[in-house]
Structure 1
Amino acid sequence: MQLGLLAVIGAILAGGFVYLTEPLPLQVLRNSLFDQYQRWQPRQYKPQPVKIIDVDDASLARMGQWPWPRTRIAELIERLQRAQVAAIGFDVIFAELDRTAPKAMLNLWNLPPAARNTINSLPDHDAVMAEALGKGRAIVGFSLDQDGAGSKLPSRSFSVVTLGESPLPFLHGFSSAVTSLPDFEMKASGNGALTFVPDADGVVRRVPLFLKLHDQVLPTLVSEVLRVAQGASNYIIKTSQVEKTGIETVGIGKLKIPTTPKGELWVHYTPAVADRYIPAWKIFSGEVPAESVKGSIVLVGTSAQGLMDLRLNARGEVMPGVEAHAQVLEQILGATYLERPIWAGSIEALVIVVGGLLLGILTLVTGAIASAGLAALMVVGMSVGAWFAFSRHGLLLDPLTPSLCLIAIFILASVIHHLSTEQKQRWIKQAFARYVSPNLVSYLVQHPDDLELGGHRRQCSFIFTDLAGFTSLMEKIDPAEAVAMLNAYLDEMIAIAFRHQGTLDRIVGDAVAIMFSAPVTQADHQQRAYDCALDMHAFASKYAAELNAKGIPFGQTRIGIHSGEVIVGNFGGSTIFDYRALGDTVNTASRLESVNKHLGTKVCISEATLAGCSQADVRPVGRLVLKGKTQPLMVYQPCMTALSSQAPVAEYVQAYSMLQGNAEDALFAFEVLATNYPEDPLVRLHLDRLKAGQAGELIVMAEK
């Protein structure tokens, strides 16, 4: 017990270590669970003042390939500004000069001086766009990377106020930036990072509000559009002052936004919603009423396949990258947050420690059954609780890691308990040496109190088999060879019985006795006996045929099946005893086996067994009065295979039904069958009886 408890404590410590280190496979499993929550219950779309101006495939088809001239972008900005939108955020980086500008074209065209002067006097496209940006409420973007190229810092038009420790250690850090043109950054009202930090599987589950470049805190596009839309000039970042675990909230104007310790927001995705998008070409064509976007935050991005700004979201759907920004903005404006609370880790760790200790001790003391129930209850309870927290309160709790730890502890403690009980059961296993059937051994291991003399009444089924002509075979071939063939035969016959959960009652020479529904009660014991007998017959027939083909006269197997009440239990004395069944049912099954040689059949099954078989293809033999019996027993022959030498069941049954009527009609029917099927033993049996003047279906056996 002490060693087992130490092992359980060690497993708990190992589970805690895995929980704290969070290896990548565990992160993937946890994220997959959180993703499944979103598939089951996505966020319901409720319209917020957030729109996406979509440079989609239709816009490219109508207005030309991307990138568009900066004058066209300037026109888009001015149209949106006239519609009095709250802010315009570009999910596009304008890092290079416009290649369609007049001065850029002069370097490609060979024009006369007058034409060159005319074109040179045209307004510069980038200057036109910069002027449009300068009219207010527009935010350009930049990207951050780790490759070291482009070390220029993006321009800043804000200040960051920190409450608590510096947020820099907690933010995702980068070493380089690709920015928009300096004139654009200077004229724009804001400048935000467009960079996502997807998980290892490429899924965008969180969108950061701030990122870090060297020692600078930089806002993302989401933060900047919220700041510009409210006319705010600073950010307030609050970090945890007690546990120093990271960022707690971000203040932007009137908004107080809860974040992850790294300053991110979990995205609770909605299904795809067409109302979120406005094709860009409709803005230029004037088909969008100004009232539909007035006061809204608009994000300019692209869903066009060729522009490759596509991302994978937590619902397993491909979406334009700009939609992740839009969905986060919807959540913030609607105050519908998806959070993994700071206390989640403590609760999950506590479950691993307390639950693991409780489960481990219970498993060591009681074994697998009760502790498995507790483990299942814990796992189900955590799963239901986590789902409730998500569906009702938008909380992300992880039942997966604690469940895996508890299952590992349960398995370890179960193995330890099993090993510790082996010594206690050794004396029982020594007693089992006198038993043969595995199901009997298993039963008595679990019920050692049954290792006592005595018996009890039970309904059982029995199979008796015997091998014809084996004694004469022993005289014809080498005894060692005959024994080897017999052992192979018996080994498979017994294996078939065990596959049907039968118990080996006894082996007498080449004969085998199998019982069903003892020691373990089997409600379907009659069906099991029937199916087992058919499999035994199939094997024995094939085995004999293979040996006969080799010139070895191995005989056919006769099988009898009967069911009824017997006394089963341990019989013997204090020195040695045997588990077996006693009663007339056993004797009757043995007689049914031996009566096959008089009937010419291979398998006989009683009506008592057949009554418990749901599907049995049989034909009647007759009402037999066995040797030494006074009461007739209805007996049947299973139709194992469609032998050409055997009369069809329907024709045979029709002839058999005539036995109770006119004897001449019955005789004629069986004569016809005998002519067509001269090798059918039952046809020959009844024909001979009818010729001898015996009518009806009652057959009195004069021999065993």
Structure 2
Amino acid sequence: MLRKNLLRHAIGLLLLAIMLGHAARLLQLPFIAPLERLIYDTRLRLTMPRTVDERIVILDIDEKSLAEIGRWPWSRNRMAALMDRLFDRYHIRLLGIDIVMAEPDESSGLKVLDRLERSELKGVTPYRSALARMRQGLDYDRLFQAALRDRPVILGYYLANGGIDSGALPPPQLTAAGLGGRRIDATSWSNFGGNLAPFQEAAAGGGYFNPIIDPDGILRRVPLLAEYKGAYYPSFSLAMVQALLGNARVAPSFGESADGSYEAVESLDLVRGRRTVRRIPVDENLAAWIPFRGFERSYRYFSVADVLAGRTPLERLENKIAILGTSAPGLRDQRATPVSEIFPGMEVHANLVSAMLDGAVKERPAYADALEMLMLLVPGALLIALLPRCPPLRAAGLVLALLAALAAVNVWAWQSANLVLPLASAMLLVLALYVFDVSYGYFVETRAKHQITRRFGQYVPPELVDEMSRNPGGYTMENRKANLSVLFSDVRGFTTISEGMAPEALAQLMNEYLTAMTLVIRRHRGTLDKYIGDAIVAFWGAPMDDSRHALNAVLTALEMQQAVAALNRSFAARGWPSIAIGIGINTGDMTVGNMGSSIRLAYTVMGDAVNLGARLESKTKEYGVGILVGEATRDAVEGIVFRELDRVQVKGKEQLVAIFEPLGQEGEVDDAALAELAQWQRMLACYRGRDWDGAERLLREMQAAHPNCRRHALYLERIAAFRASPPPADWNGVTRFDSK
């Protein structure tokens, strides 16, 4: 039995050794970190209290505020009035301003009045006296500065790498000299964008907004200290907590680093006098994990318009910690977080302030790496020894029990001790050993089929993958030259559509549109190349040979236009705007294969024929048609009725190319359309023969039946231009594309 399972034991031990090497930081497995982040997000969402923190409120510069008070930015006298209202009427405890005020306010006209005093009205004593009396009330920045002074207000600013410094910074919390030579791995910045110096000097403090964005684009942590020119400054949320705790100072607490090579910061202690009033655990970047309370609106929101007008009840704001920010479209600070892809930046700060006040910031302890190795060794050794001897059902039960135990211990540590313990590597090892053991023979026998699925499954329809798997040796992602057909489609006026829709509705509209279009491409055996925003690129003839690739591309385009019409009926029922798409198709020799960089590859097509397809799509609006195809596509297709639209010469190429509009399959185009097509062809003959009168007469007749047809108007414009400035003697009816 031992000899029979020797290979399985050896491979199991190899898997265990690899995972232990990762835990010991001797090697890095790139898939562990994304999985750990996924587990972290799932655990966070499942354990959120989903309660509202009544201590903290959001003062929202919302659409209502802009409608009542005026567009942003508001004049500083208005901001000064807001400060007075908040502290004198509502008696808030602390205000954090999640807005940078980096430019002087000249809206009062004081600058103009001063210039008049120096020029046209120089020496006019009554004017000078009146201006002196009014100056104090017209210096809005000074009014706002005075409104900040001696009040617990924290101003926000941002740090950057690149650009120029602006505004002023608050005093630093620490300096390199004050650390006594100890090493701090804080995020480092070379520039800042701060508030005007008088504002920062008058405020109680300030903090930066900058978070740490993980490689997947999600905000999970905020660095509580950051380095700028040898000094260390607090984050916005930390500065607020320091003020709430009596202007407590920051003192790093050091422990041994994970590899034992230096002393690493384990926590930031907030100290008042000689007493530590709060311990905040941080990671190697001096960043704190954000323990989100729940989804958006886990804090009470109050419109600034209601606050200024006194409509907000006093008890709703009295003694509250307030964060001033904006949710108005175009001004809103939005972040992708574990709880939502669109989350208000104001609430990120609020969640971290709540956690620091409650001592609820999650901590990855110094012994986490050692614990991870133990969590790998015990289950790994158990499974390597037992799985080869267990029948399938017993093996599945053993694995499920181990996974449940690992998850239970991890969640218990998370909730009871605020510990962030590693889990991905242990769960992945358990699953990997199980999958390897029960699938050993299957993976060996069907290796080639799975290879094809991994390579092409994201590009081609599943039914084509099944066909390819019957002969896996015949397909490769290596670059090769082939005669293919490529399709480009794009939504017209997408920018206008997106500006008029809420983000959630726009995302749903685009998801439905892209899904419908992709299904059409799949039905016609197309290979999906990529999405570029609202644009779609697909091609036919690779990786599977397709003698009908040009026809399939054209049939796809015709059905896509029909699918868009059906979608528009659905959109109209929901009050959404209708959409229109332009499609360009071209056929020719292209390079197809895996292309890109060492970081990311994509199975795609390149070449002049591809470029012409993209240009044809961009010209559909100019000709007023939904689909344009190149001459090579038309020549390769049978059974489709085409209308020739023009002869063109693309920029940088000498070859002339005819372009066509497909009208439908033969037998499906009605008699009226066929008659109009014959008349159009006679018009083209007159046009290319310089018979301007004959061409215009035919165009006028067609225009009477179709008054809004763009191609009729286009040719009438050309005829008018040629009458005024006749083409050269060697003109052959060609139109040049001057742009790519």
For residues 380 and 168 of structure 1, the distance between their equivalents in structure 2, rounded to whole angstroms, comes to 40
Q: Give the 3 Å change call, closer, same or farther, for CA 148–161 of structure 1 in structure 2.
A: closer
- The structural deviation recorded for 1:245 is 4.4
For residues 239 and 164 of structure 1, the distance between their equivalents in structure 2, rounded to whole angstroms, comes to 11
Q: Give the 3 Å change call, closer, same or farther, for CA 153–56 of structure 1 in structure 2.
A: closer
Matched, 1:382 2:406: yes
Instruction: Give per-residue Cα distances to partners, 1:208-244, cap 9 Å, x unaligned.
Output: 3222224221101111112223332522221225753
Which residue identity is paired with 2:161?
Q
For residues 306 and 107 of structure 1, the distance between their equivalents in structure 2, rounded to whole angstroms, comes to 34
SS at match of 2:135: coil
1:354 maps to which residue? Answer: 378
SS at match of 2:241: helix
Matched, 1:220 2:235: yes
Q: Give the 3 Å change call, closer, same or farther, for CA 291–168 of structure 1 in structure 2.
A: farther
Instruction: Give per-residue Cα distances to partners, 1:513-563, cap 9 Å, x unaligned.
Output: xxxxxxxxxxxxxxxxxxxxxxxxxxxxxxxxxxxxxxxxxxxxxxxxxxx
Q: Give the 3 Å change call, closer, same or farther, for CA 55–362 of structure 1 in structure 2.
A: same
1:165 touches 1:240 (CA, 8 Å); kept in 2? no
The runs of 5 or more residues in structure 1 that have no matched partner are 421-704
1:169 maps to which residue? Answer: 184
- The structural deviation recorded for 1:310 is 1.4
For residues 419 and 227 of structure 1, the distance between their equivalents in structure 2, rounded to whole angstroms, comes to 58
Instruction: Give per-residue Cα distances to partners, 1:17-64, cap 9 Å, x unaligned.
Output: 445466554333322222222333322425342222111111111111
In the TM superposition, what are the counterparts of 1:643-662 in structure 2 within 5 Å? none
2:167 touches 2:195 (CA, 8 Å); kept in 1? no
Matched, 1:102 2:105: no
2:32 maps to which residue? Answer: 26
Matched, 1:122 2:135: yes
What TM-score do the two structures reach when normalised by structure 1?
0.53
2:12 maps to which residue? Answer: 8
For residues 35 and 191 of structure 1, the distance between their equivalents in structure 2, rounded to whole angstroms, comes to 30
For residues 233 and 391 of structure 1, the distance between their equivalents in structure 2, rounded to whole angstroms, comes to 28
For residues 321 and 289 of structure 1, the distance between their equivalents in structure 2, rounded to whole angstroms, comes to 26
SS at match of 2:335: strand
The runs of 5 or more residues in structure 2 that have no matched partner are 445-740
Q: 1:282 aligns with which of 306, 311, 324?
A: 306
Q: 1:40 aligns with which of 34, 46, 50?
A: 46
Q: 1:328 aligns with which of 347, 352, 364?
A: 352
In the TM superposition, what are the counterparts of 1:63-102 in structure 2 within 5 Å? 63-82=69-88, 83-102=90-109
Which residue identity is paired with 1:196?
P
For residues 116 and 60 of structure 2, the distance between their equivalents in structure 1, rounded to whole angstroms, comes to 33
Q: Give the 3 Å change call, closer, same or farther, for CA 149–15 of structure 1 in structure 2.
A: farther
In the TM superposition, what are the counterparts of 1:130-149 in structure 2 within 5 Å? 130-149=145-164
Matched, 1:271 2:330: no
2:58 maps to which residue? Answer: 52
Instruction: Give per-residue Cα distances to partners, 1:598-636, cap 9 Å, x unaligned.
Output: xxxxxxxxxxxxxxxxxxxxxxxxxxxxxxxxxxxxxxx
Q: CA RMSD in A?
A: 3.6
2:363 touches 2:419 (CA, 8 Å); kept in 1? yes
1:296 maps to which residue? Answer: 320
2:626 maps to which residue? Answer: none
2:57 touches 2:300 (CA, 8 Å); kept in 1? yes
Which residue identity is paired with 1:90?
I
SS at match of 2:212: coil
Matched, 1:248 2:251: no
Q: Give the 3 Å change call, closer, same or farther, for CA 379–166 of structure 1 in structure 2.
A: farther
For residues 392 and 174 of structure 1, the distance between their equivalents in structure 2, rounded to whole angstroms, comes to 36
Matched, 1:257 2:315: no
Instruction: Give per-residue Cα distances to partners, 1:267-295, cap 9 Å, x unaligned.
Output: 22223337522211122112234444333
For residues 367 and 146 of structure 1, the distance between their equivalents in structure 2, rounded to whole angstroms, comes to 59
Identity of aligned residues (%): 22
Matched, 1:397 2:401: no
For residues 100 and 24 of structure 1, the distance between their equivalents in structure 2, rounded to whole angstroms, comes to 54
For residues 352 and 162 of structure 1, the distance between their equivalents in structure 2, rounded to whole angstroms, comes to 42
2:223 touches 2:288 (CA, 8 Å); kept in 1? yes
1:165 touches 1:239 (CA, 8 Å); kept in 2? no
1:247 touches 1:262 (CA, 8 Å); kept in 2? no
2:369 maps to which residue? Answer: 345
What TM-score do the two structures reach when normalised by structure 2?
0.51
Which residue identity is paired with 1:384?
A
- The structural deviation recorded for 1:81 is 2.5
1:164 touches 1:240 (CA, 8 Å); kept in 2? no
SS at match of 1:338: coil
For residues 370 and 3 of structure 1, the distance between their equivalents in structure 2, rounded to whole angstroms, comes to 21
Which segment is superposed worse, 230-239 or 105-114? 105-114
For residues 314 and 323 of structure 1, the distance between their equivalents in structure 2, rounded to whole angstroms, comes to 13
For residues 400 and 99 of structure 1, the distance between their equivalents in structure 2, rounded to whole angstroms, comes to 56
- The structural deviation recorded for 1:160 is 7.4
Q: Give the 3 Å change call, closer, same or farther, for CA 339–376 of structure 1 in structure 2.
A: same
Q: 1:187 aligns with which of 202, 218, 221?
A: 202
1:160 touches 1:234 (CA, 8 Å); kept in 2? no
Q: Give the 3 Å change call, closer, same or farther, for CA 274–47 of structure 1 in structure 2.
A: closer
For residues 258 and 189 of structure 1, the distance between their equivalents in structure 2, rounded to whole angstroms, comes to 25
Which residue identity is paired with 2:223?
P
1:235 touches 1:250 (CA, 8 Å); kept in 2? yes
For residues 108 and 200 of structure 1, the distance between their equivalents in structure 2, rounded to whole angstroms, comes to 53
For residues 354 and 164 of structure 1, the distance between their equivalents in structure 2, rounded to whole angstroms, comes to 41
Q: Give the 3 Å change call, closer, same or farther, for CA 205–370 of structure 1 in structure 2.
A: same
1:230 maps to which residue? Answer: 245
Q: Give the 3 Å change call, closer, same or farther, for CA 284–12 of structure 1 in structure 2.
A: same
Instruction: Give per-residue Cα distances to partners, 1:78-126, cap 9 Å, x unaligned.
Output: 2223243332211111111124242455699999637986668533221
For residues 28 and 99 of structure 1, the distance between their equivalents in structure 2, rounded to whole angstroms, comes to 49
- The structural deviation recorded for 1:409 is 3.4
2:335 touches 2:343 (CA, 8 Å); kept in 1? yes
Instruction: Give per-residue Cα distances to partners, 1:243-281, cap 9 Å, x unaligned.
Output: 534322432542232333433332222233375222111
SS at match of 1:307: coil
2:207 touches 2:234 (CA, 8 Å); kept in 1? yes
For residues 371 and 281 of structure 1, the distance between their equivalents in structure 2, rounded to whole angstroms, comes to 64
1:157 touches 1:189 (CA, 8 Å); kept in 2? no
- The structural deviation recorded for 1:187 is 1.6
2:218 maps to which residue? Answer: 203
Q: Choose 1 or 2 for highest CA Rg.
A: 1
SS at match of 2:267: strand
1:485 maps to which residue? Answer: none
For residues 152 and 168 of structure 1, the distance between their equivalents in structure 2, rounded to whole angstroms, comes to 29
For residues 233 and 366 of structure 1, the distance between their equivalents in structure 2, rounded to whole angstroms, comes to 60
Which residue identity is paired with 2:304?
A
- The structural deviation recorded for 1:193 is 0.8
Aligned residues: 420
Which residue identity is paired with 2:200?
E
Q: 1:312 aligns with which of 291, 316, 336?
A: 336
Which residue identity is paired with 2:12?
V
